[in-house]
Amino acid sequence: AQSVTQPDIHITVSEGASLELRCNYSYGATPYLFWYVQSPGQGLQLLLKYFSGDTLVQGIKGFEAEFKRSQSSFNLRKPSVHWSDAAEYFCAVGAGGQGAQKLVFGQGTRLTINP
Amino acid sequence: NAGVMQNPRHLVRRRGQEARLRCSPMKGHSHVYWYRQLPEEGLKFMVYLQKENIIDESGMPKERFSAEFPKEGPSILRIQQVVRGDSAAYFCASSPPGLAGNRVPYFGPGTRLTVL
Q: What is the CA radius of gyration of chain B?
A: 14
Q: For chain B, how many helices (H) and strands (E)?
A: 0, 11
Our CA-based measurement puts residue B27 at a distance from the nearest CA of chain A, in whole angstroms, of 17
* Nearest C-alpha neighbor of A72 from the set A30, A21, A18, A19: A30
What mean pLDDT do residues A45-53 have?
Answer: 91
Contact A102 B110 (CB under 8 A): no
Name chain B contacts of A101, Cβ cutoff 8 Å. 31, 33, 48, 55-56, 95, 100, 103, 105
Q: What percent of chain A has pLDDT over 70?
A: 96
Res. A59: pLDDT tops 90: yes
Q: What is the mean pLDDT of chain B?
A: 93
- B103 touches A at CB < 8 Å: yes
Residues 6+ away with beta carbon under 8 Å from A115: A14, A15, A83
Of B42, B106, B112, the CB nearest to A46: B106
Express each pLDDT in B21-36 by its tens digit: 999 999 989 899 999 9
